[in-house]
Amino acid sequence: MTDPRHAPADGPPPIAPGTPPILQLQGICKYFPGVIANQDVSLDVAPGEIHALLGENGAGKSTLMNVVTGIYQPDGGEIILDGYGQSFAAPQDAIRAGIGMVHQHFKLVPAFTVAENIHLGWRETPFRASAKTLESRTRALSERFGFSVRPDAVVADLSAGEQQRVEILRVLARQARLLILDEPTAVLTPAETRDLFRALRAFRARGNAVILISHKLDEVIDISDRISILRAGRHVGTWRTADCTAAGLATIMVGREIVRRDLRARAPGAAAIARDPGAAAPVLSLRGASCRDARGIETLRDVTLDVHGGEILGIAGVAGNGQRELTQVLTGMMPLSAGTVLLDGAPVPLADPAAFARAGIGHIPEDRLRSGLAPSLDITDNMALREYARPPIGRHGLYDRAAAARLAGTIVAAAEVRVPDLATPIRNLSGGNQQRLVARREIRIASRVLVAAYPSRGLDIGAIATVLRYLTDLRDQGVAVVLVSEDLEELLNVADRIGVLFHGRLMATIDAATADMETIGLLMGGRSAPNGPTSGGGHA
Amino acid sequence: MAGTLHRLPTVTPARRLAWRAGAIAAALAITTLFLALSGRDPRLLADLVVRSAVGSRFGLEDLALFLTPLLLTGAAVTVTGRIGVWNIGAEGQFYAGAIGATAVGLFLPGPAWLVLPLMAACGIACGMGWILLPALARAYAGVNEIITTLLLNFVAGLLTTYLAVGPWHDRVTGALASTGRLPVRIPEIWGVVHWGFPIALAIVLALAWLTTRTRWGYQITIGGANDQAARYAGIPVRARILGAMLLSGGLAALAGMFEVAGTVHRLQGGLANNFGYFGIVVAVLARGSCLNVLPAALLMAFILDAGIVLQTQQLTASAVLAITGLVLFMIAIADELAHYRPVTVRRATTGAEARP
Ligand SMILES: Nc1ncnc2c1ncn2[C@@H]1O[C@H](COP(=O)(O)OP(=O)(O)OP(=O)(O)O)[C@@H](O)[C@H]1O
Ligand SMILES: [Mg+2]
């Protein structure tokens, strides 16, 4: 870890031999009813290293970190901090000992400002502080740690990347020496990820340590010093990153090799794209569609597009350029301020999500926990969300719990998720397993169209391959698929056409067979002609 | 080595029940202590309470009479609670129901089999009317229902008093603050216990079924758990909030109708006896489940019944209220403490000290 090749500014600092690890785990076990979340996990994290923690969905990564930060008590094993045995009764104890964690699902208070969130539940918050004081303190912190935030902004109005900076700043302000990040880049744009990594390297250079959980292997190889892998709750091993390749890691994680196939190619006998002249009208179309947010700002501007049966339409763009609005318009969740939605060529009079679902339009929403699931309810109730009004669950105005449980069992089996019992609240499932269940639930009702927003977010690479196969299977059955993604490689790999959104406008729709990353990248930045002058605008 | 507490994210029902039993025992112990300190014999009082509240036929009849309105108001608050709305106005809707029922009873002569259902219908309609404005404001404008429903309680209470001493005042007996005796009454089934009691029981059971086994109940549950997910599933959340609140108003109003037509037989100020507010307590104890309303209302009824007995022993009404408060306070503490489990912590040094 004293590799001289690293630049001294952000490389790991030289560590004197014999320095104890910041954190050492010895034989940690954690069990839930019917689930072995962690079994005999031993690993150590040295000062001045970024330690990546990998594993499939449900491998026990989040649970292990929750044990380290005192949210859960271990059922066995020891946590050793700076050479001394420690046991944290509550997260506050861990924070006091210098361990800070940013969770997979953010835990900020949406209605509070950034400054208020930073100071919430903090010993050093002045007893009587005006909003002004808090904001200036926040500004000072943000300069000290190199995380730019807007102290007076309300958290609910922030992008995912901004919210995450607030979370990290909150932790750093409490003098964390060990920063734990649970899938921090899942919701970040590439630019935000670069900023985050720059800040993490600076943090490491000061002799601190980072544990990073991620499913994005390229990123992990880019930033980490060592990599540990969990499989089914057990520690498989720890390697120096320099010795690892993405393919090798994937094989160890999943236990088999993952090959990226060209998913655009059709299997023999698959439905053809229903786009030829003379074919039926497109399944779903937008004509001049615009919509406005609560403040009256146009978030979708004059979008016209057609989705045909048997094709995958990819939607690219930097997050926050109208993707959410587009998916909501296509699934009946948001009314248009101008333009029309056409279903099978006929205008749809009313934005009614239930009617869209009945018409065979499935929707994997961007933020599954907030809008696709009711976290406190059990798996059964959550899996019935789309079919509760249809037989066999909903007959004569009743809700047949037994039938709902059978449906949930079917979905759980199809999604290949192991659950101890269907009465488990869905928030107890791992993030990736929640995502798989939502995907399977929506595929069931998507007999005509599936609108999938970031369906691979939070999934391990094996599961991503599976979900993409779900999509291509649907396509081969003649279903139209709209795939919103920030991963251009993924889009180029599965989509037939790619539309690019910029500032709510559909810049262009291009054929994926001839498209290249560069063209799409330019369009994403608002430039319409790939070879034209840089000032060529797509602005309104 | 040091002992410390660890917070459990979820608590099993058995654990919670055990803690609550402990809380009730603790509250009784504290009460006993205070009674002893104030020079009374707690054993004698306890014996008296048990004998007259549950050990005698009259006590049991009283218990049933307390239970009847508590079941309905408790269910009323629970039903809205399931969709995340707090109906603090059960007291007011109770009065509205009593007023509506009295109006029919006093001014619409007829056979009981006809007048009683009309009284119930009119009472329920009045209760729904009483909650209509807060319900519309909440469902369509997002106005917080806690304030609006609460404020209407005072209006309803004063309106009742006004009617009882004013326009509907009983001129025959010259009683000070009540209307005349209603010409019809809900028939009794057991001593002074009237048919309202079994009906209230049946209604609570029906609600338990409605909230868990019907499409409407499912939509309410989803709406209460995550309204964004409910919108995503196309559930008409506003209509469901409106519906649940109207149902709630109707239930509390029916309690008022039962009270006036079955127990008191006349409209008078203070008729609601805080049953609406105690309904909130019952709902809190029931934690969102209509089936749990049964034991929760029973506990509340027992406390009220015991209070009456104690009042006959020269304990003031406020002392009785204080005991009620103590029991509920202890239960609230127990619900929180049930989340904690002692763990042994080895702490060679704290992290703060170890930091360089
Ligand atoms: N509170 C809980 N109660 C019951 N089971 C739980 C609880 N928390 C986690 N589990 C289970 O423990 C296992 C490990 O979950 P964990 O969240 O640690 O996985 P993960 O490695 O973080 O996965 P992902 O990559 O999907 O986030 C899962 O099977 C999960 O269902
Ligand atoms: Mg996780």
Q: How confident is the model at residue A527 (pLDDT cuts 50, 70, 90)?
A: confident
Percentage above 90 pLDDT, chain A: 33
Instruction: Give B188's strand partners.
Output: B194
**Looking at the domain assignment, is residue A302 inside a domain?**
yes
Residue A275: which residues within 8 A CB-CB, separation 6 or more? A282, A308, A311
Beta A298-307 vs A449-453: how paired, if at all?
Answer: unpaired
Which residues fall inside 5 Å of ion ligand 2, going by CB?
Answer: A 62, 104, 430-431
Residue A300, domain CATH: 3.40.50.300
Return the exposure string of B86-118: e unless at least 16 CB atoms fall within 10 Å of the residue's CB, then b.
bbbbbbbbbbbbbbbbbbbbbeeeeeeeebbeb
Residue B126: which residues within 8 A CB-CB, separation 6 or more? B96, B97, B99, B100, B253
**Looking at the domain assignment, is residue B238 inside a domain?**
yes
Per-residue pLDDT reduced to its tens digit, A8-63: 445 555 555 567 888 999 999 999 878 899 999 999 999 999 999 999 988 999 99
Please, where are the H alpha helices in B259-350? 275-286, 293-312, 317-337
* C-alpha–C-alpha distance, residues A81 and B349, integer Å: 10
**Looking at the domain assignment, is residue A177 inside a domain?**
no
Whether A84 is in the pocket of ligand 1, judged by its Cβ within 6 Å, is no
Per-residue pLDDT reduced to its tens digit, B75-105: 999 999 999 999 999 999 999 999 999 999 9
Kindly tell me the burial class for residue A29, based on how many C-beta atoms sit within 10 Å of its own C-beta (0-12, 13-18, 19 or more): middle
Q: Are residues A251 and A291 in the same domain?
A: no
**Looking at the domain assignment, is residue B61 inside a domain?**
no
Q: Are residues A32 and A87 in the same domain?
A: yes
Q: Are residues A89 and A224 in the same domain?
A: yes
Q: What is the pLDDT of residue B196?
A: 95
Residue of A nearest to B345 (CA): A87
* C-alpha–C-alpha distance, residues A149 and A199, integer Å: 13
* C-alpha–C-alpha distance, residues B216 and A399, integer Å: 8
Q: How confident is the model at residue A195 (pLDDT cuts 50, 70, 90)?
A: confident
Average pLDDT over residues A460-466: 85
Q: Please report where in the chains the tokens 């779903």 appear, as a residue.
A: A284
**Looking at the domain assignment, is residue B319 inside a domain?**
no
Whether A429 is in the pocket of ligand 1, judged by its Cβ within 6 Å, is yes
Least confident of A59-68, A393-402, B56-65, B171-180: B171-180
Least confident of A83-87, A121-125, A417-421, A457-461: A121-125
Residue of B nearest to A393 (CA): B215
Q: How confident is the model at residue B318 (pLDDT cuts 50, 70, 90)?
A: confident
**Looking at the domain assignment, is residue B60 inside a domain?**
no
**Looking at the domain assignment, is residue B212 inside a domain?**
yes
Q: What is the pLDDT of residue A5?
A: 40
Range B24-32 contact pairs with CB under 8 angstroms and sequence separation of 24 or more: B24/B299, B24/B327, B24/B330, B24/B331, B26/B330, B27/B323, B27/B326, B27/B327, B27/B329, B27/B330, B27/B331, B30/B326, B30/B330, B31/B323, B31/B326
Percentage above 70 pLDDT, chain A: 91
Q: Are residues A39 and A93 in the same domain?
A: yes
Separation in Å, CA B234 to CA A207, A291, A324, A353, B22: 52, 20, 17, 5, 44
- Is it the case that residue B350 has pLDDT exceeding 50? no
Average pLDDT over residues A154-174: 82
Most confident of A176-185, A254-263, A445-454: A445-454
Sign of dihedral through CA atoms A264, A265, A270, A274?
Answer: positive
- Is it the case that residue B356 has pLDDT exceeding 50? no
Q: Which of A30, A31, A32 to mutate to test the pocket of ligand 1 (most atoms within 8 A of CB)?
A: A32
Per-residue pLDDT reduced to its tens digit, B133-168: 999 999 999 899 999 999 999 999 999 999 998 888
| Closest atom of ligand 1 to CA, residue A433 | 26
Q: Answer whether A385 sits within 8 Å of B229, measured CB to CB.
A: yes
- Is it the case that residue A357 has pLDDT exceeding 60? yes
**Looking at the domain assignment, is residue A422 inside a domain?**
no
* C-alpha–C-alpha distance, residues A258 and A126, integer Å: 53
Q: What is the pLDDT of residue A15?
A: 55
**Looking at the domain assignment, is residue A314 inside a domain?**
yes
Residue B141, domain CATH: 1.10.3470
What is the widest separation between alpha-carbon atoms in chain A?
76
Q: Using an 8 Å Cβ cutoff, are A444 and A387 in contact?
A: yes
Least confident of A231-235, A262-266, A483-487: A262-266
Most confident of A252-256, B182-186, B312-316: B182-186
* C-alpha–C-alpha distance, residues A401 and A399, integer Å: 6
Q: How many domains does chain A have?
A: 2
Most confident of A79-88, A316-325, A429-438, B51-60: A429-438
Q: What is the pLDDT of residue A424?
A: 87
Q: Which of A30, A31, A39, A62 to mutate to test the pocket of ligand 1 (most atoms within 8 A of CB)?
A: A62
Q: What is the pLDDT of residue A53?
A: 95
How many C-beta neighbours within 10 Å does residue B291 have? 16
Q: Using an 8 Å Cβ cutoff, are A501 and A473 in contact?
A: no
Tell me the three state secondary structure of residue A266: coil
**Looking at the domain assignment, is residue B207 inside a domain?**
yes
Q: Which residue has the higher pLDDT, B125 or A18?
A: B125
Q: Are residues A471 and A347 in the same domain?
A: yes
Q: Are residues A238 and A309 in the same domain?
A: no
What the block records as the tokens of B348 is 């060679």
Nearest listed ligand to the Cα of residue A56: 1
- Is it the case that residue B346 has pLDDT exceeding 60? no
Its domain, for residue B89, covers: 69-312
- Of A195, A224, A258, the one marking the end of a domain is A258
Q: Are residues A246 and A288 in the same domain?
A: no
- Is it the case that residue A329 has pLDDT exceeding 80? yes
Average pLDDT over residues B281-295: 92
* C-alpha–C-alpha distance, residues A261 and A493, integer Å: 8
- Is it the case that residue A260 has pLDDT exceeding 80? no
Average pLDDT over residues A154-164: 79
| Closest atom of ligand 1 to CA, residue A63 | 18
- Is it the case that residue A455 has pLDDT exceeding 50? yes
How many C-beta neighbours within 10 Å does residue A254 have? 17
Q: What is the pLDDT of residue A531?
A: 47
Q: How confident is the model at residue B343 (pLDDT cuts 50, 70, 90)?
A: low
* C-alpha–C-alpha distance, residues B149 and B135, integer Å: 9
Q: What is the pLDDT of residue B57?
A: 86
Per-residue pLDDT reduced to its tens digit, A294-313: 778 888 999 999 999 889 99
Residue A97: which residues within 8 A CB-CB, separation 6 or more? A81, A86, A88, B350, B351, B352, B354
Q: What is the pLDDT of residue B237?
A: 93
Q: Are residues A454 and A532 in the same domain?
A: yes
Q: Are residues A461 and A356 in the same domain?
A: yes
Q: How confident is the model at residue B177 (pLDDT cuts 50, 70, 90)?
A: confident
**Looking at the domain assignment, is residue B55 inside a domain?**
no
Q: What is the pLDDT of residue A296?
A: 80
Per-residue pLDDT reduced to its tens digit, B248-281: 999 999 999 999 999 999 999 889 889 999 999 9
Q: How confident is the model at residue B348 (pLDDT cuts 50, 70, 90)?
A: very low
Least confident of A265-274, A398-407, B246-255: A265-274
Q: Are residues A233 and A349 in the same domain?
A: no
Q: What is the pLDDT of residue B120?
A: 96
Q: Are residues A16 and A76 in the same domain?
A: yes
Contacts of A93 in chain B (CB under 8 A): 351
- Is it the case that residue B238 has pLDDT exceeding 60? yes
Q: Are residues A356 and A476 in the same domain?
A: yes
Q: How confident is the model at residue A225 (pLDDT cuts 50, 70, 90)?
A: very high
Site from A174, A328, A382, A398 to mutate, B interface, most B CB atoms within 10 angstroms? A398
Least confident of A216-220, A435-439, A458-462, B25-29: A458-462
Average pLDDT over residues A131-160: 82
Tell me the three state secondary structure of residue B17: helix
CA B321 to chain centre: 15
Beta A50-55 vs A226-231: how paired, if at all?
Answer: parallel
Its domain, for residue A225, covers: 1-98+216-258
- Average pLDDT over chain A, rounded to an integer: 84
Q: What is the pLDDT of residue A520?
A: 84
- Is it the case that residue A473 has pLDDT exceeding 80? yes
Instruction: Give A23's strand partners.
Output: A45, A81
Average pLDDT over residues A482-498: 89
* C-alpha–C-alpha distance, residues B301 and A291, integer Å: 55
Q: Please report where in the chains the tokens 């112990």 appear, as a residue.
A: B29
CA-based nearest distance B138→chain A, Å: 19
| Closest atom of ligand 1 to CA, residue A59 | 21
**Looking at the domain assignment, is residue B17 inside a domain?**
no
